[in-house]
Amino acid sequence: MRVMIVGSGGREHALAVRIAASPMVSYLCCAPGNGGTRLVAQNLAVNPEDVAAVVALAKREKIDFVVVGPEAPLVLGLVDALADAGILAFGPRKAGAVLEGSKAWSKLFMQRHAIPTAAFATFTDADAATRFVQDSGKAWVVKADGLAAGKGVMVAADVAETLDAIERIMRQREHGAAGAEVVLEERLLGQEVSYHVVIDGERFVPLAAAQDHKRLQDGDRGPNTGGMGAYSPPPVVTAEVEKKIIERVVVPTVRGLRADGIDFRGVLFVGLMIDHGEPRVLEYNVRFGDPETEVLMARYGGDVMPLLLGAARGDLSQLKPSWSTPVALCVVLAAPGYPGTVKKGLPIAGLAAASQIAGVQVLHAGTVADADRVLTSGGRVLCITASGSDIDAVAVQAYAAVDRIHFDGMQFRRDIGHHARKSS
């Protein structure tokens, strides 16, 4: 089978490694891929958000199956366009991608289907939003409705910050049309976790729980980022908590999608806050998380193709995932300036030495190959992933690999997995 992965991050490299290893796959390309995916696949230059160009490329390459990494092409209808061209794809159609593409829609969906989430109100009028906040006399989490590359959410500390966020999102349109509507949400407390389920339109297969680290610095301080590292499984998701996640969130979500006439096929990433054992939904994403995918792919037992294909074909009835590797942890190495404007084109040293450490995989995110050198090309540059049977040992391996890698101004956290590690 000829397979194409759309995207260029660490998530796509992690998927590429597992898909390339499948006996079902005769050819794999990444559109456009990065400096790491070229080692396991053919990189083909294309803009993932140019739907017509991606479809044309898939046709030219005689692709049988496309795995879509990022959310933007899904929201733009890439899977619908591929289906029109007779090409099977992993990922929801536009109608399902709205769960991530519109935060207002997803909050109303949760309300309609009685899925636990923070209390909220939605506004298309900035004056009305302002009055609501002033009348409430308290701080709110302010979310731009549309896609904003992970930068459209402000967890305000007080009324003034809340009003400032409304001003920037709705009046100054810092995120463009994504700010035409806002969601004001009550702030939830607790520990954040990521729960992925693969859905075939009807049935679902839960993947292992994972935990991302959103803030730039150790101790969960500093600005929010796309994610500085992840590990799986997080201890906060006990068997009892997982049961609640399935019963109160996953089952009503999958049922709600069907009730709303949405044939959702792909992966649903549920962002949750767990407070005293009670799960509440922070958000839905309609694609694999990054960096969660790096640890999920490191733990998944066996071939991943039946899981991806089963969802796309609408039949996961025979699928039993196994998590043959007990734990995995990944550390993101970010460029200087991240999460703001970053410096690119920096040479990276030590990649081969790092990958020699047992249990370690050096996954690329923002890198490009330049002759025999690898250069930085984005904010999150590499994702050093280690897997094994003990979280403390795995952390030691991952950081030993990190210590072999260098580029100017490299930023990373030393405390990834701190909720689970005995030695952090």
Ligand X SMILES: Nc1ncnc2c1ncn2[C@@H]1O[C@H](COP(=O)(O)OP(=O)(O)OP(=O)(O)O)[C@@H](O)[C@H]1O
Among 49, 167, 192, 263, binds ligand X (CB under 6 A): 192
Q: Is 188 one of the binding residues for ligand X (CB under 6 A)?
A: yes
| CA distances, 55 to each of 58, 68, 287, 323 (Å) | 5, 12, 19, 34
Nearer to ligand X, 181 or 185 (CB): 185
User: By rule CB under 6 A, what string of x and - marks binding of each residue 202-231 to ligand X?
Assistant: ------------x-----------------
Between the CA of residue 360 and those of 297, 363, 413, what are the distances in Å?
Answer: 13, 9, 17
**Shortest distance in whole angstroms from residue 289 CB to ligand X:** 7
Instruction: Tell me, by CB under 6 A, how many residues bind ligand X.
Output: 16
DSSP 8-state assignment for residue 139: -
Number of Cβ within 10 Å of residue 93's Cβ equals: 22
Residue 192 beta carbon to ligand X: minimum distance, rounded to whole angstroms: 5
Residue (70 or 321) nearer to Mg ion, CB: 70
Write out the H or E segment, with its range, that includes residue 238.
none
Q: How many CB atoms lie within 10 A of CB 418?
A: 18
Coil/strand/helix, residue 199: strand
Q: Is 332 exposed, middle or buried (0-12, 13-18, 19+ CB in 10 A)?
A: buried
- Of 12, 145, 181, 185, the one binding ligand X (CB under 6 A) is 185
Shortest distance, CB of residue 290 to ligand X, whole angstroms?
Answer: 9
Partner interacting with residue 214 (select from ligand X, Mg ion, none; CB below 5-8 Å by kind): ligand X
DSSP helix/strand/coil, 422: coil
Residue 118 contacts which entry, ligand X, Mg ion, none (Cβ below 5-8 A, type-dependent)? ligand X
Q: Which residues contact 130 (CB under 8 A, 6 or more apart)?
A: 163, 166
Give the DSSP letter string of 276-319: TTEEEEEEEESS--TTHHHHHHHH-BS-SHHHHHHHHHT--TT-
Which of these ranges, 149-157, 255-263, 343-351, 384-392, lies near ligand X under the rule CB under 6 A? 149-157
User: In this structure, what token pair is assigned to residue 173?
Assistant: 């349109």
Considering only residues 277-336, where is the footprint of Mg ion by CB under 5 A?
283, 285
- Judged by CB under 5 A, does residue 37 bind Mg ion? no
CB of 287 to ligand X, least distance (A): 9
Phi-psi category of residue 190: left, alpha or beta, with phi > 0 → left and psi -120 to 50 → alpha: left
Hey, which bits of 177-235 come out as E strands? 182-185, 191-200, 204-206, 211-212, 215-217, 221-224, 229-232
Q: Smallest distance from the beta carbon of 47 to ligand X, in angstroms?
A: 20
Which lies closer to Mg ion via its Cβ, residue 10 or residue 310? Answer: 10
Q: Which does 141 bind (CB under 5 to 8 A by kind): Mg ion, ligand X, none?
A: ligand X
For residue 73, the minimal CB distance to ligand X (Å) is: 15
CB of 158 to Mg ion, least distance (A): 25
Q: Do the strands 2-7 and 27-32 form a parallel or antiparallel pair, or are they unpaired?
A: parallel
Q: How far is the CB of 284 from ligand X (least distance, A)?
A: 9
Residue 411 near Mg ion by CB under 5 A:
no
**Which residues 6+ apart lie within 8 Å of 82 measured at CB?**
54, 55, 58, 66, 88, 89
> x/- string (CB under 6 A) for ligand X, residues 108-147?
----------x----------------------x-x----
The footprint of ligand X (CB under 6 A) covers: 118, 141, 143, 150, 152-153, 155, 185, 187-188, 192, 214, 271, 282-283, 285
Could you list the residues that contact Mg ion (CB under 5 A)?
283, 285
